[in-house]
Each structure stands twice: as structure tokens, then as C-alpha cells.
Amino acid sequence: MLSGVTVLELGQVIAGTFGGTILADMGAEVIKIEPPRGDTARNPQIAPLRGESAIHLFMNRGKRSVVLDLKNDRGLEVFYRLVEDADVVVDNFRPGVMNRLGIDHDSLKARNPDIVTATVTGFGETGPLRDKSAFDLVIQAYSGHMDYTGEPDGPPARVGTPLADLAGGIYCCISILGALLGRELHGGGRHADVAMLDSLVSLLAYDGLDFLNSGRAATRQGTAHSHMVPWQAFATGDGHVVVVARDEKFWRNLCAAIDRRDLIDDPRSHDNAARVANRDFVVGELGAVFAPMTTAEVTELMDRFDIPSAPVNDMAAVLTDDHVIERGMVRSYAHPRLGEVRYQPSPMKLSDWEMPERHAPLLGEHTAAVLSERLGLDTTEIAALAADGAVGLADYRPEAD
């Protein structure tokens, strides 16, 4: 689908790599430009999996690894030559680093007027906090998300996934696709300044809009919803189930399902406004019904009456679920050291497109191949660059990519 699009990725760990992962899943050739030490996501002490890091195995699948020392003049020149035939350059260095290395947007545009560049940072390339260090947890806290995540009487809570990192990567991918389309329509390369903070501020969504226009701040509700009842998890005899009666038709169906039609006319629960005002009463009545039932019994009953619901699944339940499997959301690739590695692919499903299954690369696995294919260098020239420290070559040599 994106065959013919070449991305040079200087990103590290998650925020600077996840956008490239999505692009690789859509068929772009993503060439991961790594320093001699490699992407820090390769650190096997973080999310360790049989001597590798699960972060690297997930975030770098489908990419080719080329080791270049950009502080080496010859290594930098190799990078410039690669840029001349590329479409996109992605990084997540701190503001100013690309300028110091001589690979900022303006410098690269002088080499390739059509180049699209994207930089993902914690706080953005402008503003008083541009130089502040950031990780996912810092951005989750600063953006306000942690303040209203968690139980009402508990402390702030982090979203389980690295939401800020992933959001930064997703918006980076969207920015790149928009810039590529804009280039086709109007010509010329563009630069995308993607901030993880901006991404999460945007994802405050309607709660942010509500506060800006009413002054009402969203508060911690646990699994419940500030504006709708019932919309939360309920304890069952063997777990938890969420039940969502957002619209009145679902509320009426729910009352029929549990044989409590009296709640339809009860002034404490006859519409959503009343149910929000009398949350404890409504939740208590429903909780008493669900508590002695099994999770399976509740979900079967809800499904029978067309009421949105779901069990609160753990990881094992999700990744073995028949529907998830049928939808192709568990796949595998062959890794040269680990053998089969199972993973969750990008969720896009487009007609006439088969997502590739390519492994996360070994460090420098494709240096020689890329320099040969793209720059026409022979083995003697590549060996000379390696001897000078300009490039790095992997010990492993795959027979086929």
C-alpha cells in the first residue's frame, strides 16, 4: 500500500518509533538508522524476553537496521546520500540536536526539496518547556490524564499502556501521511513538530472542551462515567463485567433483562439526568443483581437483550479470544535468534492489502544490503567505512530479508 515510500527513522524506544511501525505495517520501507550502541529500546533489562527486549521486538518489526555514526564525517555523508533518495526522516531527539548534527529540516531540504521530516518530543520544539526532559509518565501527569484516572477516593493513576508515547507515535504517523499527501497535491516537503503533551491535551477530548466552556473539571470515577449512568464495571461472582446503558433504549432493555421495569418510571432513574443525580441508588440496585451471577451469565443476559457489555478480560483472555484471533490481531514473525515471535499487528484492514510479517532487525543487520542497494557501494567500500567507524555491520548475515 505504501510500497515505494522510504522512511529513515532516527527514533528511539517508543514515541520515535511507533509511527514508523505503523508505516512499515502499511508497506513503507522503514530504514532504522541506529548509532553504534543501537536504539535504547534494545536494552534487554527492560521488558526482557529471552535475551531481547519486548519493546524492540514490537516497536521495530518490519524495519531494516543500518548502523551509522552521524558524528563521523563519513557516516554523516552516507546519511545525506540516503536522504537524497528518501521520502521521510523521523527523529525524537531533544530540540536542537538535529541542528547540531546538521540534519535539521532545512539542511535536509537542501539535499532533497521534497523531504518530509517529523520530530517527536515530550513538550514540542517551541514554548518555555521545550528543553524539559520527558518520559511517558511525565506527560501523563502534566497533561491532566492522571488527575482524573483512578478510583474516586484513591490517588491518581497511570493509564496502563504508555499512552503518551503511543499517542505521539500515532500523531507522528498521521502527520507524515498528511505531509506526503500534501506533497503530492501541492509539492514540497514539510516538517512536523509532534509533541507528546500536545497529543494528550488533544485527547482530553470533550472533557477538555467542557472545562474550557463551563469550568467543570472531570473527576476520578474509576470505571464509571461522569455524565452517564450506568456506565461502569460491576462485580460478579467470579470477576467483573462492564454494562453500558448510554441511551434510554438500552436502559429500558436493561430494566427488562433484570425484571426491574419499575426502575423505568422511578423518578430516581427514569432518565440519564436522574440516574447521574442518584448514582449510588442506581449502581446499588444493579450491583445487587449482578453480584451473585457469573460474568458469563451477565454477558449472556446483556447480549440477549442487546445491551452493550463485556467481561473485564485479562491479557490471557484477550489474546486467546476467538473474535480477536479471527480478526487477525495475533500474528507471528520469524526472528533470526528467537524463532517465532507472536505479536499484535496494526489494526488497519484495507481491501487488496496483505500486511507483511517481518521481524524486528538485529543491530546493523541491513547496513551492507542498504548501502549496496541504495548507494551502489561494493563490499570493499562498505568494509572501509566500517573500519573507519562510520558504519556498523552485523555479525549475523541473513540469507534473505
How far apart CA 215 and CA 220 sit, in angstroms, is: 16
What are the phi and psi torsion angles at 75 (to 5°)?
-65, -40
User: Where does the pLDDT of residue 398 fall: very low under 50, low under 70, confident under 90, or very high at 90 and above?
Assistant: very low
Query: Residue 187 burial by CB count (10 A; 0-12/13-18/19+): exposed, middle or buried?
Result: exposed
The mean pLDDT value for 123-132 works out to 96
The Cα-based distances of 346 to 173, 296, 359, 397 in angstroms read 12, 29, 14, 28
Query: What's residue 395's pLDDT?
Result: 59
Domain ranges of the chain: 6-203+326-392, 231-312
* Residues recorded for the chain: 401
Q: Which fold has domain 231-312?
A: formyl-coa transferase, domain 3 (3.30.1540)
User: Where does the pLDDT of residue 396 fall: very low under 50, low under 70, confident under 90, or very high at 90 and above?
Assistant: very low
Q: Which of 305, 353, 359, 350 is nearest to 332 (CA)?
A: 359
How far apart CA 19 and CA 23 sit, in angstroms, is: 6
Query: What's residue 353's pLDDT?
Result: 87
Query: Among 230-239, 290-299, 361-370, 389-398, which is the least confidently predicted range?
Result: 389-398
Cβ atoms of residues 236 and 305 within 8 Å: no
C-alpha torsion angle, residues 367, 369, 370, 371 (rounded to 10)? 80
Task: Check if 73 is active-site.
Answer: no
Cβ atoms of residues 200 and 206 within 8 Å: no
Order of strands, edge to edge, in the sheet holding 64-68? Answer: 191-195, 116-121, 88-91, 6-9, 29-34, 64-68, 391-392
User: Where does the pLDDT of residue 116 fall: very low under 50, low under 70, confident under 90, or very high at 90 and above?
Assistant: very high
Q: Choose the catalytic residue: 165, 259, 303, 306.
A: 165
The CATH superfamily of 6-203+326-392 is Crotonobetainyl-coa:carnitine coa-transferase; domain 1 (3.40.50.10540)
Positive or negative, the CA dihedral 351, 6, 344, 348 is: negative
pLDDT tens digit sequence for 20-68 = 999 999 999 999 999 999 999 999 999 999 999 999 999 999 999 999 9
